[in-house]
Structure 1
Amino acid sequence: MASPLLRQKVVDLTEERLKTEENEHLLDSTSPTYLADREKRRHEITSQLLDITADMLDKMVCKMESKTYIRSAFYGATQLLTRAYNAVHVSDSEVKRLQEVATSAAKKKQSILFLPRHTSHVDYVTLQVVCYRLGLTLPVVVAGDNLNFPIVGGFLQSCGAMWIRRSFANDQLYTALVQAYLDTMLQQGYNLECFIEGGRSRTGKLLSPKFGFLSFVLDSILAGRTEDVWICPVSLQYDKVIEVDSYVNELLGKPKQKEDLAGFLSASSVLSLNLGRIDCRFHEPWSLKDFISEQQARQTLGADFSAGSNSRIRLLRTLGYRVLSDINEASVVMPTALVGTVLLTIRGRGIGKSELARRVDWLAKRIRLKGGKVADFKGMPTSHVVERALDVLGPKLVGTVDGLAEETFYAIDRFQLSFYRNMTIHLFISEALIAAALYSRVKQGGGSANERMTEAELIDKVTFLSQLFRGEFIFTAGQGLQHNLEDAVQGLVRDDVLTTSVDGETMVGLSDSERKSGRESYDLYCFLIWPFVDAAWLGAVSLLALAPSTDTSAGWVEMQKAQDMAHFAGRTLYHQGDLSYFEAVNKEALRNSYSRFQEEGIIQVAKATDPKNKPTVRLAPEWRPERDAVSNELKPSGRLWEFIENIAQFRREGKNRRDEAAVSTRVLSLAAKLNQQIFAEELQIPAEAQPDSVKESRRRSKL
């Protein structure tokens, strides 16, 4: 409360309020008692603001004050955690390194900022228990106030949680209060913990970084209020995640349930299950001050890191993606992820027990060759590790076929298994993009000579895919697309998956040994990326339904309705056979696609000034598909259709898609039906309830 930053904000807001009251004639400047009245009013406003601030602070502040309480909470948390998971594994070398950094930081009164990935609510408990056992200062956990519900909220606040709003809504006082509180903790050397992704990942892979909290920490360093902060990216990996069932429901369109005590107790009921083990890995901590200096040195004309500058925004983005890259580097691939990946990357209906063990062993070796880490099981045979993984996944996810010559396993719930498969994809993303690019030629058949492409064409196609998935995957930080691509191609040639030859120009194709082995490596990379290609294709196809029926129509639709319609279209296309992967029909992938389409200018998004009205979306006029002049039906031509076809070339070939004309007819027919439905609904919205963008466009149309 004594922070100069916060005090100044109170003064500024008081002055703004006084000016407003003067403009509204609530203060009479002609009155003989004007100065006295104004001063009295100033004290009243300041007092009110300080009372509001104190109340907000009481709800926000971490109240970790009693050692007895902490010890009791630790004991209880450990008992609950070990009922669900049989062990929490850490690395001795990483722990020793972290303790050395912590000792040095404590002497300088500097904070360690733990930035873990966010997979489960268990993350909070796990990292606190690990820090307690390692003798580290328990971090203050930056948590969304959606978890601050009765009883549980108070308990968590006393064990290390500080509550912040999910949205600040341009509340200047609240923003200044958060900054002042963080400054105070950083100046005193308290450790902090914040989930870099914001919310929990529903898909198993890392989400894009959220920059709000990092911006506060960065501001504290740049303004000189804090000397330095140590950044420690953390990876928390689970054999099985408690909430995966609810994640799948949310991705399939079921509304997210609000956290409350009943839900917490319901989730706690699974704590008696065998969910395998947890691996907690710490990346080598690094100095934020040194990072800023390095970035500043890279600027050719000098960096302007002032608030709102482009250099400051780039610095923040670079910081966020550096942390995510470090988390991926520290991550350990669990046995359930290995088994899930193998089951979802085979061509057959199922796989025998011995072959499953062989492929898991093969995949583990591929991961290690890529510099990744696989959970250590102290010399246990692979067959035993696979059995444990199958036991943890359970019969709801993986089925067996009885009465065969060999025990055979197959994926039952592919959607839920994809959560575990996605925990490996970051290791092979460059290879997967190359494989998908080459597949556009491989699927045409005609022998090895016909299934090659020039290096220039390959680079062009991989560049397109990289841009398409820019917000979907976390690429290796600091190296650039060209460098990553060249490294990946060289690696695939070295592994004898691809071969290059010079026939006038450099040609790239599958090697003879890869063909003889049944394309095992190549298929793995393709199967990893194909569900995401399907999801991007679905997102692009759904835009056809946003095409207005006339050139004069504005075509604005509520964003939520547009994405719900896209989800509905995906379910239809999957069950009709035009979409291969049901996990492609998920809300998060569609949101990511729409974000990319907005960045590319394919769609335009408008937000209403009234928060009650939801954001709206429309196709950019230059991207509207062509219509038949007589029938007004959508035609398979135009800029949007070319974009859809460009994505489609990388999709897995299926029986329903061998006849491209038939696919075009079915897709356009479905788009026409959804188009009529969504615009009919928009026309029924009362005028007073329409978003600003819709009302303005219709007003202009009438003019």
Structure 2
Amino acid sequence: MTTRKTSEEPSNMDDNPAPQDPTAPLAQEQKLLEPYARFRSAPLNALQELGQHIWGEGWRSYSHIIGQEIFYPGFSEEMKGMVMRQEALRRQMGVLANKRVEAELYEGLLGPIGVEGEAPEFREKRERRRREIEGQLREVSEEWLDGMICKMDSRYFIRGAYYAATQLLTRAYHQGIHISTEEVRHLRGVAEEAARKKQSLVFLPCHRSHVDYVSLQLICYRLGMALPTVVAGDNLNFPLVGSFLQHAGAMWIRRSFGEDQLYPTLLQSYIDTLLQNGHNVECFIEGGRSRTGKLLQPKFGILRFFLESVLSGKVEDAIICPVSTQYDKVIEVDSYVSELLGTPKPKEDLVSFLSASNVLSLKLGRVDVRFHEPWSLRGFIDEQMGRMERQSVQADVMAGEGLRRKLLQTLGYQVLADINKASVVMPTALIGTVLLTLRGRGVGKSELVRRVDWLCDRVRAQGGRVAHFAGLSTETVVDRALEVLGPKLVGRVSGLPEETFYAEDRFQMSFYRNAAIHLFVSESLICAALYTRVKTGGEANDQRLSYTELSYYVSFLSQLFRAEFIFSTQPLDENLQGALRGLERDQVISCTHSTSSPDSAMEAVELHPHQRASGREDFDFYCFLIWPFIDACWLGLVSCFLLTPPPRHQSQTGDTEAIWLDYHTLQSRAQLLGKTLYHQGDLSYFEAVNKEALKNAFQRSEDAGVILVSRSKDSKAPPRVRLDQEYLPRRDGEGNLTAEGKLWELCERVSLGRREGKGRRDGGTVKRRVLGLVELVGRELWEGEAAVGEGQGSVRRTRRRRGIEPPKALL
């Protein structure tokens, strides 16, 4: 925790946009923003600081920035003019106008069709109509564009906005925004070179809070760099706040385009204009905010526009800059928990936005922003195309839409991998991870400090980084983190010989644990696979797992969790071997090889003797990390039994394939089933019932062909779902569900890696109890939601079962 010396505030920070001390340590960290003086306690100082921003003294003037000129009168009008002159937009308006004229011609609205219709007066009428429609499309485009583009027209405005945002942010995050001096110095160099070439910096941050875009804007302003145009969903464009954000750099886009053929072209033209003129851009690759604390899978919608700008040749190059933003405590976590437990997400409005003021007086710790090494988008494209050529990728992939899709996928996952590499693990994440990976009810202060030190070593061994605190002991950092988390998250028992702590709200605490979980996914999967044998007990030889069985089960779990985690781009076997070597080096496991040479083929894996002697402390740590997600997968598969038609429905229709249910209602009932299983002791982790984990579990079931989903073209019509006939469970003579068939076998395979708990070994009793509860929860689902007929829309029948069948030895 204290291996590197840091500086809380570099010299001359008030007058220079960046630290200028060339002798400063390369790993130096700085607190970029200090709280302003408060009017109540120091009115003269507060007025002085406000005046410095109004009159633009020193760096506050924001007059000499690195990048293209912004915040001048007429900026937005100039941008609108350039967008409307884009050839692609003008061509698309012409195409749409011609289509409409043809439609009206065949409707008989523009004269006769045929030889008579070729008379000059009819051709003139059609041309006038075409020009009229083009004019209407232009008016619509200009109206949409005015609501879309950022309006950086006033330097006075941005000075005031910076002052106000800093006031609010530094009151909530009392320890300020921290950055790496080395990273910032390098970023400024890259920005200067990009400005010289008139190229854009495309910032791609992770997204955990609304504070994300505020903090990056403040950093760019403070460092004298051109503020990026922030791509934002129009759900935030509500009265007063929407206009404020738009003038501070936000551009509003629709959350979905539907079948609109003009809007995507308008958006592409705006992106082209920004990149052609070297304006910086910021967008969130995950789409929405992560409610779970870990990175979400990439959303390719907006990335597609940036990639198209370069692939089409309209833009020579752009510089990609992945950004990681980490928090001691996230303002919105309380609302995230409510949403994950099934409460509908509230609509964004002024009241909910201003409600954030309730937390401004709290001490939420600090914000750490880290920048990955920026890289060329053109260079990335050339490298990937060269790699595909060397690998003799099929011709249909190398051409047209196939190439774009392959490049887009690789780009998305590359950015997320870089964000993970750049991120730091905050003290609150360390505390949360330790408290949620202990077997006991609580932990003493000395043991908590010891485990935090151990975890810091593990993070660094995995290539991760821990947030730096200048000269502070681990105990002091732990105390600060406990204060930030507060008694609602971490309980403490006083009056004992040693102060003892425990996780008060495990569900909310999991958000902070998940910020570090990406570093240990491979190791956790290996330990979960080995646990399938360890939990059976017996002698050491009885708990040994062959490498073949281990590899199959790790592959099986990896397939289940492909929507949960960002995996390494290395081949599975290569990644597995590396993780095994690391676990063996740390004395967590022992590996048996075919010969005495460590380079020979691996035959088996077992617990290291050191783990047996120490009560499996480190081995359990990795298992505890992954068990909640295994529980969620198991719950998702058990919930598929809810789709089994009751006997009377089968007898009424005579055709089980004709019965479809509302997909959203199924997910809601699955949560209810999970909560009941948790409180009755058949589910170990309450966080397994969270909406995102269940959604991923159902998506995996859909991909594997376990369930079929019918989706309508009408976005307002809910999707409908049913079990594939192949996975439909059977009933016994009394009409009860039986624990047999392909669906139950799949549940059992997942359950092999689950944590031992109440009644986990009582076999038939568990089966009867769980399936009986499924019948009880599913009764209302079927009574209120059953519908006959396949409904409208297409049914996905993907059968990607590769990786879902484990070896027979594991059955």
The two structures have a TM-score, normalised by structure 1, of 0.96
Q: Please state if 1:655 is matched with 2:746.
A: no
Q: Please state if 1:178 is matched with 2:261.
A: no
Partner of 2:571: 480
1:155-193 deviation line (CA, Å, top 9, x unaligned) = 000000000001111211000000000000000000000
- Cα distance between partner residues in 2 of 1:598 and 1:307: 29
Q: Please state if 1:49 is matched with 2:152.
A: no
Q: Please state if 1:338 is matched with 2:421.
A: no
**How do 1:89-488 residues align onto structure 2 when only pairs under 5 Å count?**
89-299=178-388, 300-301=391-392, 309-476=401-568, 478-488=569-579
- Cα distance between partner residues in 2 of 1:482 and 1:312: 28
Partner of 1:701: none
CA-atom RMSD in angstroms:
1.7
Secondary structure of 1:172's counterpart equals coil
1:615-654 deviation line (CA, Å, top 9, x unaligned) = 11111121212222x3332211111111000000100000
Partner of 1:25: 108
- Cα distance between partner residues in 2 of 1:186 and 1:208: 25
Partner of 1:615: 719
- Cα distance between partner residues in 2 of 1:162 and 1:693: 33
- Cα distance between partner residues in 1 of 2:398 and 2:266: 20
1:343-401 deviation line (CA, Å, top 9, x unaligned) = 11100010001110111111011101111000001121111000000000001111111
Secondary structure of 1:158's counterpart equals helix
- Cα distance between partner residues in 1 of 2:483 and 2:107: 71
Q: 1:503 to 1:661 in 2, by over 3 A?
A: farther
Kept in 1, the 8 Å contact 2:286–2:296? The answer is yes
Kept in 1, the 8 Å contact 2:459–2:519? The answer is yes
Secondary structure of 2:463's counterpart equals coil
1:33-84 deviation line (CA, Å, top 9, x unaligned) = 3212211211111111111000000000000111111111111111111101
Structure 1 residue 448: Cα displacement: 1.5
Secondary structure of 1:274's counterpart equals coil
Secondary structure of 2:123's counterpart equals helix
- Cα distance between partner residues in 1 of 2:702 and 2:194: 43
1:490-512 deviation line (CA, Å, top 9, x unaligned) = 11111111101247971101100
Partner of 2:89: 6
Q: 1:135 to 1:305 in 2, by over 3 A?
A: farther
Partner of 2:603: 506
1:580-616 deviation line (CA, Å, top 9, x unaligned) = 1001111111111111111111111111233332111
Kept in 1, the 8 Å contact 2:397–2:406? The answer is no
Secondary structure of 1:276's counterpart equals coil
- Cα distance between partner residues in 2 of 1:590 and 1:81: 34
Letter aligned with residue 23 of structure 1: Y
Partner of 1:65: 153
Q: Please state if 1:597 is matched with 2:697.
A: no
Kept in 2, the 8 Å contact 1:120–1:241? The answer is yes
Q: 1:595 to 1:102 in 2, by over 3 A?
A: same
Letter aligned with residue 682 of structure 1: E
Kept in 1, the 8 Å contact 2:728–2:743? The answer is yes
Kept in 1, the 8 Å contact 2:659–2:788? The answer is no
1:497-531 deviation line (CA, Å, top 9, x unaligned) = 11012479711011001221222211110000000
- Cα distance between partner residues in 2 of 1:639 and 1:541: 12
Q: Please state if 1:533 is matched with 2:625.
A: no
Q: Please state if 1:626 is matched with 2:738.
A: no
- Cα distance between partner residues in 2 of 1:513 and 1:333: 28
Secondary structure of 1:655's counterpart equals coil
**Matched pairs, number:** 690
Q: Please state if 1:636 is matched with 2:739.
A: yes
Letter aligned with residue 331 of structure 1: S
- Cα distance between partner residues in 2 of 1:454 and 1:248: 40
Secondary structure of 1:613's counterpart equals coil
Structure 1 residue 308: Cα displacement: 5.9
Unmatched tracts of structure 1, length 5 or more: 696-703
Letter aligned with residue 496 of structure 1: Q
Q: 1:605 to 1:351 in 2, by over 3 A?
A: same
Partner of 2:792: 692
Q: 1:693 to 1:680 in 2, by over 3 A?
A: farther
Letter aligned with residue 649 of structure 1: L
Partner of 2:618: 521
Letter aligned with residue 332 of structure 1: V
Q: Please state if 1:581 is matched with 2:681.
A: no
